[in-house]
Amino acid sequence: MTAIGCKGVGLGLRSPHLREVIRDTPDVPWFEVHICNYMGGGLSRALLAQISERYPLSFHGVNLNLAGVEPLDEGYLKRLKAAVDEFNPALVSEHACFNTHQGQFFHDLMPVPFTDEAVFHLAGRVAQVQELLGRPILIENLSRYFTYDQSEMSEGRFMAAVCEEADCGLLLDLNNAYVNQVNLGEDLNQFIAELPLERVGEIHLAGFTEQNGMLIDTHGAPICDAVWKAYKDFCELRADVPCLIEWDNNLPSLQTLMQQRDVAQGIFDEASGKLTGVVSA
Amino acid sequence: MKSEQKRASLGQDSAYNCALTAFADAVLEGRDDVAPYTNNYLGVHRMALGNIYLCVKEVLGDGPFAALAGVYVKHFPASQWDVNRYGERFSELLAAQVNGVKADAFDWPAIAALAAIEYAITEQYYADNDLKHGGEPTVIEAEATVQLHQGWIHRLAALHPYADIAARLSFESSVAVWREDLRIKVMPVDLILDTGDGPS
């Protein structure tokens, strides 16, 4: 199978929409899947094969435990490599987080202290994964609800250092950055200014839910105005980065997702037109 | 790799390891300053149960299901990275309700059997492939008197549209769940023997 690039604005594909996408082949340039749901065989894998015949894919992981301290799960990596080799996705990404500790599986994206020790540890494991897969991966910034006292640097500098050290790409989640700004008082623009923009290989946009005075990154609501603005601002800097609409909880119809996608595509097209001198209709 | 010497594996006493341990412990203890993570830990596993046990949830109703799911999550930590396989012992918890305070509220043995079937459907959905079929067939056994209500079977079929489910599911013989190409089959073993249809 030939790798086809992810261009423009794609959608996160969730299981309830698989059959509809296969049947109706909606006008979406590419899809991202949570690869953890397709690492066995099974019906889900067979459906993914059908999707991949029509659409470029991005593989997004949530279980690699990249920043964990236990050895990387060889069985998981073997399955991931088999899936990557079979489908040859345009992008492969994971999170800068730990999911497992001392045998306890949290199934959550848990933060780490931003220290030199963490930079080298995480970068070493990213490099290990890249070596095994034979290709670069992107690592994603987190939404966070806790700050470690041990942190020695900002998240922006941490992500930049890991990317440099591991020579990997960056998946920039603007909703996560906005959630961190509101919850933790971290400046979104400063965060972006500290990132190596040339390494950004994908953007994520999503919605949050307000709970007990905090913004929780539930991916369960439309994208808010502030995140749309952040996306517009980013496109002024780089208008060639594939962007993804993520929605997981309270999953709406594919039509609703398409509406969000169309808004993002409009922003992307306008910025691309400005940069190339072509005015979009 | 640029800084090989700095990437030596972390020891148990490294500051990084200790920080992660303290954080993980705080999440499991439900400490206030990590409350969103504790809520997420409980919520993601309750949601996993809700996604797997769609029909059981309908039969019990949201409230009773949420209560039982909450009990399960507190006592049965996930044993692997794949959250789609969480809840493998939920049917045991349901079966044990015959001894609980709501023993008479539901037909617990039948609901436990229904749960076992739903878990097997999910297993087959994600099962590894072999040359022709899906993973090994799952065989579910229950007391011979257990019979799934007809309405449940209709809902089971509606909620799992990729499964072909026998019109009648009793446990006079075992019930087998397996996959053939893109369909999941749910059928009593005696019916398979009668018709010659079944996993090969």
Segments making up each domain of chain A, as ranges: 9-276
Task: Please name the residues in contact with B114: beta carbons below 8 A apart, sequence gap of 6 or more.
Answer: B55, B56, B59, B148, B152, B156
Mean pLDDT of chain A: 94
Total-model pTM = 0.90
- On whether any CB of chain B is under 8 Å from the CB of A209, the answer is no
Q: Give CA–CA dist A69/A97, Å, rounded.
A: 11
CB A143, CB A178: distance < 8 Å = no
| pLDDT (0 to 100) of residue B131 | 43
Q: Summarize pLDDT for A164-219 with one digit per residue, the tens.
A: 999 999 999 999 999 999 999 999 999 999 999 999 999 999 999 999 899 999 99
Do A36 and B128 make contact, defined as CB atoms within 8 angstroms?
A: no
Task: Please name the residues in contact with A13: beta carbons below 8 A apart, sequence gap of 6 or more.
Answer: A21, A31, A32, A33, A51
Measured in residues, chain A has a length of 281
- For A58-68, letters b (16+ CB in 10 Å) and e give bbbbbbbbbbb
Average pLDDT over residues B150-155: 95
CATH entry, A9-276, from 1.20.1250.20, 3.30.360.10, 1.10.1740.10, 3.20.20.150: 3.20.20.150
Closest CB to A146: pick one of B33, B126, B184.
B33
Percent of chain A with pLDDT over 90: 89
Complex ipTM over 0.90: yes
**Residue whose pair of structure tokens reads 């601002």 in the numeric block:** A233
B-chain residues near A165 (CB < 8 A): 2-3
Q: Coil, strand or helix: which one is B135?
A: coil
Closest CB to A104: pick one of B77, B129, B161.
B77
Q: Where does A90-241 show beta strands of DSSP type E?
A: 91-95, 98-101, 104-110, 138-140, 169-173, 200-205, 209-211, 214-216
Percent of chain B with pLDDT over 90: 68
User: Half-sphere exposure of residue A42, counting CA atoms within 13 Å on the CB side?
Assistant: 19
**Residue whose pair of structure tokens reads 């303290």 in the numeric block:** B22
- On whether any CB of chain B is under 8 Å from the CB of A146, the answer is yes
Q: Is the pLDDT of residue A153 over 60?
A: yes
A261: closest CA of chain B, how far (Å): 26
A3: closest CA of chain B, how far (Å): 24
Closest CB to B125: pick one of A19, A43, A167.
A43
| pLDDT (0 to 100) of residue A274 | 72
